[in-house]
Structure 1
Amino acid sequence: MVRGTRPEVDVSEGPVRDGPSRGETPVPRAWIGAAEVLGADLHLELAGTGSRRAVLTRALREAVRGGRLAPGVRLPPYRSLAADLGLARNTVADAYAELVAEGWLTSRQGSGTRVSTRAAASVSAETEPTAEEAGGRGATAALAYDLVQGRPDPAHFPRTAWLASARRAWTAAPDEAFGIGDPRGRVELRRALAGYLGRVRGVRTEPERIVICAGAAHALRLLARVVGGGEATWAVEAYGLPFHRALLADAGVRTVPVEVDEDGARVGRLPRDAGAVLLTPAHQFPTGGPLHAERRAAVVGWARSTGGLVLEDDYDGEFRYDRRPVGALQDLDPDRTAFIGSVSKSLSPALRLGWLVLPAGLVSEVVAAKGEREPYSSATEQLTLADFVASGGYDRQVRRMRRHHRERRDRLVAVLAARVPRVRVTGIAAGLHAVVELPAGTERATVAAAARHGVAVEGLDGYRHPDAVSLPRRDGLVVGYATPPERLYGPALDALCAALTETMNTTDS
């Protein structure tokens, strides 16, 4: 904040000096600290030549464009800014009016002058990466539609119900809840989860066998430290999250791919020397479909005969639409299975809350691997989730989102059937995404065509294990239907259909 004398500004009307007098020596750049208004400071850089209004207008515009003035920020009243800069009130008022007319600012009676939200959209458009920077997205098309999987629409977070749970939980919490805490997590949440997971997912456990984590990835890291490391080898599904494979590699775990088909992983081909197998039995990610009942029994038999551990990633386990609920694999043998879950899809990834349901013999080792206090999840968020589960709020949220996602899925399937009938949509009985199967050899071209039409979408090949060269390959798009806001979902499907039609027509020619 600059106080005292005000620097000069080179303007056609004469540079502005401290007070009303005029000087002759121009100053090419000047930093002005201006206007403590309602507890806020405004820092402007005035530079260049032109009228006083032009210089101020340019400085304000650059502050918005550069992100220093964020959308919705209230600017100082023009009288205050004029007094601090030594400018005439009309000069500042005219500059504000010009920026309002251009859409950079808004002005309403009783609300003052604020940075427009439309200005932020303009800035995003100006800074859209080039085709080279975006990895070949196309020369001009901005990726306006997000159909990438695994991203629930944040607008559906249950703010009112969550706040009510927070108030109840924090009011009832004992004083010790706001201390260092138990590395296993708050007992209130572990009790609530034990009841919920038993009732809804068929998990057999007690609160003492649950460890609260900062999401599913954190849970997997802990298991990699305890069960993996060194020369450990784990089996993983041939199609899965690259992030998980990289996480395991960082922990010193070598992964070997196991083929997947419409019945899930082909567990009869599990290597007997693997220390663990990582599966998504409720809804194989990303190809879709639950692990067949015979294979569920077979993988438990493999774990018992080899001493291996089954890691059950309950991916999308709560979101099933056209089938009977599929219970947790953990129920078949709680002593040979580690069950991993989180609220990243059902509530929000921003909460950073997940859980591990462990065999009794692994609890102390996982807690030790968790280490000191830094990796602990927020106690206040744990208390809130405990109340949210116990009060029925979590059940209501899951049912509400299940209806919403099913409607989104049905709309996707119907539009594709009507407009691109040659493609087959699979993996739709559960989850937040579908797989659009493509003719062999067309996946990369279809992803590129989607980008040209402004659609961000991923191909199946990006999820394929790099060592799965001898296993069958599938071409397809992994289409996430949960992310776009409602006003953009229809246009997103239109653009996706246009991209698929373009690829189909090219294949025919």
Structure 2
Amino acid sequence: TRVAAGPATAPSGQGARPGQRHRQPRTPVPLPPRAHGPRHNLRQGTPDASSFPRTAWTASYRRALQAAPSEAFGPGDPAGRPELRQALTEYLARARGVRTEPDRIVICSGFAHALRLLFDRGTREGPAAGGVLRGPLGVEAYGLGFHRELFAAAGVRTVPLPLDEHGARVDALGRERAVLLTPAHQFPTGGPLHPERRAAVIDWARTRGAVVLEDDYDGEFRYDRRPVGALQGLDPERVIHVGSVSKSLSPALRLGWMVLPQRYVGPVLAAKGEREAWASVLDQLALADFVTCGAYDRHVRRMRQQYRRRRDRLVAALAARAPHVEVTGIAAGLHAVLRLPPGTERSTVKAARWQGVALDGLAAFRHPQAPTTAGDGLVVGYATPSEHAYEAALEALCEVLPPE
């Protein structure tokens, strides 16, 4: 965050020259409103923090604390608490079609932590030496930049796959050893991976002896139909399924999970270390209770309804005030992509910044070596504002959109 510089003053103990004593201070150079933080935050990736289920979470935390065995307060098992791994086994099978057992689940602090465990070479010895997975790695042509930075830091070369209306062009995969996909809801463009391509990427992994890394970042939030099942259900030995509560509950909890093919469990645990140093054991116990008692399902249902209404309000606002701007992608997730007229993305993002509206242009997510472009667009996080601030955020968004 930049802070506007105030009038220059003499250092402590140093007097001003007589000729300068009565001069008026300079007028500070005006900065965009965002210098003091955005008035309206429409950045993607964050759930409505005001909707966190405090009462239900507190009840689960208390129950878990009272029921926890004494050994739970010792050094944590790097695999994660057995109570949580059992709860996730049952929940993921029911809600996402994941096929697993508790001993194939490893708890982590989120998706970035999972990537580090899988790819970071570090200074390990034994089965995790040199990284659990190796490159080159196929990735979608549009995705999060900090993931690419993480891979680069680990020495992993990424190969961008073109995207079209059916998702990633998995037929472009060749000699890569792994591929990272968001099959339920491509981030950020918003489409699901077509069923034929889901089958094709599994066939590729079997033929090449490769692995598919599935980022199920918002798979529970589908608004027009039942969520698409996890890709892992097609072949548990060729897919690593990664999820977290960052979108469904809160990123502050720092809790995620990896559902691993059996051959990767040992190397991942070796990479993690002898003790749990990342995910709070007490939070793990609380989440296990939260899932088992049904509170997690109730919360997801409530937020699914809330976010669907928000997306509907976004679509309605655009239809009324900017009908030339199209919302693309399926009705799912916590963000939407707005297609803009060609050549207007940069100026629109700049105008939004000046008006105190925080959002991202679609180009910010493009892989530097992507063979094609998805065109001009905005990535709008409709889940981020609190409910009482959402209407004003929509109003501000519509004001900065380019004319037809």
TM-score between both structures, scaled by the size of structure 2? 0.88
Question: For the structure 1 residues 481 and 231, does the alpha-carbon distance in structure 2 shift closer, same or farther, using more than 3 Å as the test?
Answer: closer
Contact 1:275 1:309 (8 Å CA) reproduced? yes
2:272 maps to 370
The residue matched to 1:339 in structure 2 has which SS? strand
Question: How far off its partner does 1:325 sit?
Answer: 2.1
Question: How far off its partner does 1:430 sit?
Answer: 0.7
Contact 2:223 2:308 (8 Å CA) reproduced? yes
- After superposition, the C-alpha distances for 1:101-144 in whole angstroms (9 at most, x for unaligned) are xxxxxxxxxxxxxxxxxxxxxxxxxxx9963xxxxx46989620
> Whole-Å Cα distance in 2 between the matches of residues 301 and 178 of structure 1?
45
Contact 2:204 2:210 (8 Å CA) reproduced? yes
Q: 2:145 is matched with which residue: 242, 246, 270?
A: 242
> Whole-Å Cα distance in 2 between the matches of residues 466 and 404 of structure 1?
36
Instruction: Give the alignment of 1:38-49 within 5 angstroms.
Output: none
* Residue identity matched to 2:145: P
Q: 2:109 is matched with which residue: 198, 207, 214?
A: 214
> Whole-Å Cα distance in 2 between the matches of residues 229 and 250 of structure 1?
15
Contact 1:320 1:402 (8 Å CA) reproduced? yes
Question: How far off its partner does 1:224 sit?
Answer: 1.3
2:393 maps to 492
Question: How far off its partner does 1:375 sit?
Answer: 2.9
* Residue identity matched to 1:484: P
Q: 2:380 is matched with which residue: 457, 479, 489?
A: 479
> Whole-Å Cα distance in 2 between the matches of residues 460 and 334 of structure 1?
33
Contact 2:118 2:268 (8 Å CA) reproduced? yes
- After superposition, the C-alpha distances for 1:210-263 in whole angstroms (9 at most, x for unaligned) are 000011111111111358589721000000011111111111111010011221
* Residue identity matched to 2:226: R
Q: 2:88 is matched with which residue: 193, 204, 210?
A: 193
The residue matched to 1:504 in structure 2 has which SS? coil
Question: How far off its partner does 1:334 sit?
Answer: 0.3
2:336 maps to 434
Contact 2:181 2:212 (8 Å CA) reproduced? yes
> Whole-Å Cα distance in 1 between the matches of residues 275 and 97 of structure 2?
31
Q: 2:39 is matched with which residue: 117, 120, 144?
A: 144
Instruction: Give the alignment of 1:285-296 within 5 angstroms.
Output: 285-296=187-198
2:255 maps to 353
RMSD, aligned α-carbons: 2.1
Contact 2:111 2:243 (8 Å CA) reproduced? yes
Contact 1:194 1:205 (8 Å CA) reproduced? yes
Contact 1:215 1:344 (8 Å CA) reproduced? yes
Instruction: Say yes or no: does 1:259 pair with 2:162.
Output: yes
2:199 maps to 297
> Whole-Å Cα distance in 2 between the matches of residues 344 and 142 of structure 1?
23
> Whole-Å Cα distance in 1 between the matches of residues 87 and 76 of structure 2?
17
> Whole-Å Cα distance in 2 between the matches of residues 201 and 231 of structure 1?
27
- In structure 1, runs of 5+ residues without a counterpart are 1-27, 30-127, 132-136
> Whole-Å Cα distance in 2 between the matches of residues 173 and 308 of structure 1?
40
* Residue identity matched to 2:403: M
Instruction: Say yes or no: does 1:467 pair with 2:369.
Output: yes
> Whole-Å Cα distance in 1 between the matches of residues 115 and 92 of structure 2?
19
Instruction: Give the alignment of 1:315-394 within 5 angstroms.
Output: 315-373=217-275, 375-394=277-296
Question: How far off its partner does 1:307 sit?
Answer: 0.8
- After superposition, the C-alpha distances for 1:405-440 in whole angstroms (9 at most, x for unaligned) are 011110000000110000110124110000000112
Q: 2:76 is matched with which residue: 181, 184, 189?
A: 181
* Residue identity matched to 2:374: R
> Whole-Å Cα distance in 1 between the matches of residues 29 and 221 of structure 2?
35
* Residue identity matched to 1:245: R
**Structure possessing the higher relative contact order (Cα contacts under 8 Å, 6 or more residues apart):** 2
Sequence identity (%): 65
> Whole-Å Cα distance in 2 between the matches of residues 457 and 242 of structure 1?
15
Question: How far off its partner does 1:289 sit?
Answer: 1.4
Question: How far off its partner does 1:486 sit?
Answer: 2.1
Instruction: Give the alignment of 1:410-449 within 5 angstroms.
Output: 410-449=312-351
> Whole-Å Cα distance in 1 between the matches of residues 237 and 250 of structure 2?
30
* Aligned residues between the structures: 371
Contact 1:459 1:477 (8 Å CA) reproduced? yes
Instruction: Give the alignment of 1:64-75 within 5 angstroms.
Output: none
Question: How far off its partner does 1:397 sit?
Answer: 0.6
The residue matched to 2:117 in structure 1 has which SS? helix
Which protein shows a greater Rg?
1
- In structure 2, runs of 5+ residues without a counterpart are 1-11, 14-27, 121-127
Contact 1:389 1:395 (8 Å CA) reproduced? yes
> Whole-Å Cα distance in 2 between the matches of residues 366 and 229 of structure 1?
7
- After superposition, the C-alpha distances for 1:74-103 in whole angstroms (9 at most, x for unaligned) are xxxxxxxxxxxxxxxxxxxxxxxxxxxxxx
Question: For the structure 1 residues 129 and 218, does the alpha-carbon distance in structure 2 shift closer, same or farther, using more than 3 Å as the test?
Answer: farther
Question: For the structure 1 residues 215 and 229, does the alpha-carbon distance in structure 2 shift closer, same or farther, using more than 3 Å as the test?
Answer: closer
> Whole-Å Cα distance in 2 between the matches of residues 146 and 202 of structure 1?
34
